[in-house]
Amino acid sequence: MSYLSASSAFASGETFSLVGHDLQVDVDSRWVGCGQGGYCPIRVRVVNRGPARRLTFRIVKSSYQIVAVRQTVDVPQNATLGLTLSMPMVNASTNGEFRVADAGGDLENMRRNVSFPEINNWEMGRPGLVVVSSGTVDLQPFEDGATTFRHTNGGISSGSIGGAPAYGGSRNSNCVWLPKNSLPASWVDYSGLDLLAVPLDTLAQLPKETRAALAQWTRCGGTLPVTATGDSATANEALAKILVDDSASANAWTWSEPTLGDRHTPQIVHQDPGGAISASSPAPANVPGEWPREAAPFRMANVGFGKLVACTGEAFPGTAQDWFWLLKATGGFHRWDWGKRHGLSARQGNSDFLMFLIPGIGGVPVVMFLVLITIFSIVIGPLNYFVLARRKQLHLLLLTIPALAFVTSLLLFGYTVVAHGFSVKARCRSLTFVDQAAKSAVTFNRLSLYAGQAPSSGMQFSRDTAVYPIWPESEEFESGQLDWTNTQALTSGWLRSRTRTQFLTVGHRTERGRLEVTASGPDKLTVANGFEWGFAPLVVANDQGQLFVGQSVAAGDSLELQPATEEALREVATALQQHPLELPVGLTSGNPAGPFFGPSRRSYRSYPYWAGGTVSWHQHESQMEQAWLRLRMGSVAPDSVTPGSVTPASSREPRTFYGLATQTPHIELGVPKATEINSVHLVMGRW
């Protein structure tokens, strides 16, 4: 495996080699996306020409704070080993230092600065694209198509650039071509991307674990255009075999073609690296590299929360008009902004933080502490002196002052223990999509934690779970560590004692549980619940899309469902509205400053760098909340829609189900034990 076989001027990052100590370490840090979150993969290949040894690869801060990432591996003698250091993008910093260490510490001359994708507050809706290719790819038509799409608000407004969002500074490209042997093998490494394009024959040549990672990333919300697929019948069969190795799962894909009329755009908008914007007429017909105009050159299918796009021919270079059309057809404006898709930014503060607090947890009890300190000051000072003076025992001040201070400290500590204890409290709001044919499950989980005493080992997540911190508005990431040696260990800085902490986690897992659904009559449906959790309520759509409702179906139980009535569906909708995202009682402002939170301990260092931006992201705009909203209205299709444009209740997706889980459905909380408060778990899927 070689990470240095090609280079690209478009990439953030670079390739370099470190040689010494009988080692050759090749590093590839080229990547794009991650403008508001995700993991940036630093791919490493090490050749050990000396004795077997244990090596630790680290990324640490160089000038500004980043997550300190590390992984320790055993490298046999004369062996070659590949690994990926997945860097969570959780603040505005764009650089760090790569180091290599052994048992004796950091190795001399085995270090180098690495750069990461920059934070992107200025160009909302500008997608990050990786193209897999063995040679140079002309990406300018895609750049112009994406710029046009963004400046026309997803093709909704006119092509005039007068009212378009503009960025007055330099502009780095957000797309890159990479060789196939430079792709990582974990889906979380693609989590910061919007699109990855790969030819069908190249996809077939990728290692099995890399193909699996791409399939999982697509199910978790990514968009995977596969080019040069040929005719439809051949493409369907090939994609089923290559991506999922399961024809039954692929048969559930519903393909659709784009609207030919959506290809038209009045003008093409171009933005140069300096930020200058210009407009031109679309290219005339039959220019070199243009996609065919006679019939739709691509088709689309929903795969989990993501999109699979099959392009009949070679997609690159195409024209700006072609790429504008594809971006418009595959999801609309909100799909191409990472922050809108997830409802948050992992790289800056979020205004929705206060809408998901744990009931009964008031943060630092500032008011009570001030009361106790005030009483302490009065008692230990004037009152203590007055009493001892009257008794002519002022010499006892040497004893009473430390004694009163000790008692006050015990009172403060005791109040904190009584108020919140030492345990971990959690609140979850999760959405799980189960594809029974593929035996896969994807879970989005908004997670709120409060630890009376943070676990000494930090937080632990699997390698297949992406973890995005949610900071209060006007705050940012301060410091933290992540160890990939055995699992995803967030060892410090992520969960502090007696501090409100929130995350969005996106996890992919194998799920062998299932609903067995049988039609016992024209208006009867029987379900056998093979999941490890119950449902209350449960809604199932039969082969014709007719809905059936069960009020409670325990794990392992079999139940005959009744046809859904308007009253039953209203009760389901009411159940789905419990514990909503909302501000605490008595709080009308989203400003977390002041006594409600206590003094902020995080740094404001990088805020001037982007403080002029007015972009914000809200949880209700996310794929998760939009799917939740559609379910409340009777639809179970997981495809994303533009907020405010919701699938009507009359639309039923055949062979689907959804319901509230009565137990936590295999969701990672990151801590060994937590008490859940006001959690709600929604499960949807295809049977």
The secondary structure of 133-160, three-state, reads CCCCCCCHHHHHHHHHHHHCCCCCCCCC
What local confidence, expressed as pLDDT, does residue 417 receive? 64
The better pLDDT of the pair 670, 405 is held by 670
What local confidence, expressed as pLDDT, does residue 222 receive? 95
Q: Is the confidence at residue 15, as pLDDT, over 50? A: yes
Query: What is the average per-residue pLDDT within 193-199?
Result: 96
Query: What is the average per-residue pLDDT within 489-498?
Result: 90
DSSP element (H, E) containing 406? helix 397-420
Least confident of 239-243, 626-630, 676-680: 239-243
Report CA-CA distances (Å) from 210 to 17, 39, 108. 24, 16, 34
- Kindly report, residue by residue over 364-373, the tens digit of the pLDDT: 556 666 777 7
The better pLDDT of the pair 585, 40 is held by 40
What local confidence, expressed as pLDDT, does residue 164 receive? 43
CATH level 3 topology of 27-115: Immunoglobulin-like (2.60.40)
What local confidence, expressed as pLDDT, does residue 248 receive? 67
Query: What is the average per-residue pLDDT within 270-291?
Result: 83
What local confidence, expressed as pLDDT, does residue 286 receive? 80
Q: Is the confidence at residue 492, as pLDDT, over 90? A: no
Give the span between the Cα atoms of 661 and 533, in whole angstroms: 6
What local confidence, expressed as pLDDT, does residue 613 receive? 46
DSSP 118: P
Give the span between the Cα atoms of 547 and 417, in whole angstroms: 50
pTM here is 0.87
What local confidence, expressed as pLDDT, does residue 437 receive? 87
- DSSP string across 249-311: HHTT--EE---GGGG--S-EEEE-TT--EEEEPPPPTT-TTPPPSSS-SEEEEEETTEEEEEE
Bond before 537 cis per omega within 30 degrees = yes
- How many residues comprise the chain? 687
Of 643, 641, 645, 632, residue with least CA distance to 684: 632
pLDDT band at 493 (very low <50, low <70, confident <90, very high): confident
- Kindly report, residue by residue over 127-165, the tens digit of the pLDDT: 999 999 988 999 999 999 999 988 887 777 654 444 444
Phi/psi at 408 (5° precision) = -65, -40
How would you label 257-273 residue by residue, b for 16+ Cβ within 10 Å and e otherwise?
A: ebeeeebebebbbbbee
Query: What is the average per-residue pLDDT within 294-315?
Result: 92
Q: Is the confidence at residue 647, as pLDDT, over 50? A: no
Give the span between the Cα atoms of 37 and 193, in whole angstroms: 9
Query: What is the average per-residue pLDDT within 55-78?
Result: 93
Tokens for 152, please give them: 């026309």
Q: Is the confidence at residue 667, as pLDDT, over 90? A: yes
- In three-state form (DSSP H/G/I as H, E/B as E, the rest C), the secondary structure along 557-589 is CEEEEEECCHHHHHHHHHHHCCCCCCCCCCCCC
What local confidence, expressed as pLDDT, does residue 102 receive? 95
pLDDT band at 168 (very low <50, low <70, confident <90, very high): very low
- Kindly report, residue by residue over 307-335, the tens digit of the pLDDT: 999 999 999 999 999 999 999 999 877 88
pLDDT band at 25 (very low <50, low <70, confident <90, very high): very high
What local confidence, expressed as pLDDT, does residue 154 receive? 77
- Kindly report, residue by residue over 453-471, the tens digit of the pLDDT: 889 889 999 999 999 999 9
Calculate the average pLDDT of the chain: 85
Q: What proportion of the chain, given as a percentage, has pLDDT over 90?
A: 55
Tokens for 543, please give them: 């082969």
Query: What is the average per-residue pLDDT within 496-514?
Result: 93
Q: Is the confidence at residue 283, as pLDDT, over 60? A: yes
What local confidence, expressed as pLDDT, does residue 369 receive? 67
Give the span between the Cα atoms of 533 and 91, in whole angstroms: 37
Query: What is the average per-residue pLDDT within 195-223?
Result: 95
Burial of 479 (0-12, 13-18, 19+ CB in 10 A): middle
Q: Is the confidence at residue 178, as pLDDT, over 50? A: yes
